[in-house]
Amino acid sequence: MIEIDDLLGSKAIAKGLVKASSVAITAVVVKQATKEIKPIIKMTKDGLMHAIERHTVNELSQFVKKSKFLENVNIPTLIQKANQVNPVSQPNGRLAWVVDAGTNSGVDRVTNQPTQLYTVITESTGELVTAFPGLP
Amino acid sequence: MAFLDIVILDDKKNEISSIAIDSQTHQDLIQIVGPAYKYPYIQRLQDFYKDAKFESPEVENLRRELAQFRLVLDGANSHSFEGKNNVIRFLKDFEKLCEKAQSLSLEIYCISD
């Protein structure tokens, strides 16, 4: 026969379990939300200039060895498009956004071949640092 | 793969000589080189995506620092990591580049991607 105290005790235990589960579920949800939060890439004048002067075909001879974007691509548009992918944290705290452009967007200096892949580097808060064809 | 190009340029910004360090070797180098007070010139390369420059009078000190660090790295068993040979090779190449810059009394530019 179940005593009234047993019932109250079970109720208390059940309540405790529900509360503990609730805390655990909240922790998981918060963790997942933190994981998914990513900054929006913020175009900066310095970052854009850095990318354009190095990674476009131009007369600046000191950058001749760098990987180059193709002449028909719009670099600011490529940079904005990187918002569609999830960035990867770099050891220095910056973020690398590796994007497949779908068509050739540049020439990789290692292979000297056209590549669809390009990388956008931002600060952890999203400010543009640079962008270049190929992988980081 | 991204690179930091280390170059000697003439006064018209044409390249005379250069070496490059890839992102992985750079990461290994910076992780192992330690605090800035020990190797302040090498530490100037710390940010892979920022340019750096060594003025002509600084090149001898840079060369000494590179040689010193290479000897430490080469001799120490405690510094054992996968990319060690790449770091040592880079340091040797950088020393040679310094010698060339010194012979021409020119600066060294580190040009990021």
pLDDT-derived band at A1, boundaries 50, 70, 90: very low
Nearest to A110 among B1, B9, B47 (CB): B1
The pLDDT > 90 percentage for chain A reads 71
Write down the pLDDT at residue A7: 47
A17 pLDDT more than 60: no
Decide if A134 and B49 are in contact by the 8 Å CB cutoff.
Answer: no
Please give the mean pLDDT across all residues of chain A: 84
| pTM of the entire predicted model | 0.81
CA A44 distance to own-chain centroid? 17
Write down the pLDDT at residue B2: 94
Write down the pLDDT at residue A37: 76
Whether residue A104 contacts residue A77, with contact meaning beta carbons closer than 8 Å, is answered with no
Q: Is A33 exposed, middle or buried (0-12, 13-18, 19+ CB in 10 A)?
A: exposed
**Partner A contacted by B14 (CB < 8 A):** yes
Nearest to A130 among B3, B14, B49 (CB): B49
Decide if A64 and B15 are in contact by the 8 Å CB cutoff.
Answer: yes
Q: What is the DSSP letter of A56?
A: S
Strand arrangement, sheet containing A117-122: A88-89, A95-100, A117-122, A128-133
Decide if A92 and B109 are in contact by the 8 Å CB cutoff.
Answer: no
User: What is the full per-residue pLDDT of chain B (113 aa) written as tens digits?
Assistant: 899 999 999 888 889 999 999 999 999 999 888 777 789 999 999 999 999 999 999 999 999 999 999 998 888 666 678 889 999 999 999 999 999 999 999 999 999 99
Write down the pLDDT at residue A29: 47
B82 vs chain A: nearest CA distance in angstroms? 17
With contacts defined as CB-CB under 8 Å, which chain A residues touch B111? 54, 62-63, 66
Three-state secondary-structure class, residue A51: helix
With contacts defined as CB-CB under 8 Å, which chain A residues touch B14? 61-62
Write down the pLDDT at residue A38: 87
- Chain A nearest-CA residue for B2: A136
With contacts defined as CB-CB under 8 Å, which chain A residues touch B5? 65-66
Q: Indicate which of A52, A56, A65, A69 best probes the interface with B, i.e. most B CBs within 10 Å of its own CB.
A: A65
Q: Tell me: the pLDDT tens digits for A32-52?
A: 544 557 899 999 999 999 999
Decide if A66 and B113 are in contact by the 8 Å CB cutoff.
Answer: yes
Decide if A61 and B111 are in contact by the 8 Å CB cutoff.
Answer: no
- Furthest C-alpha separation in chain A: 93
Write down the pLDDT at residue B34: 79
Look at B33 and A98; give whichever has higher pLDDT: A98
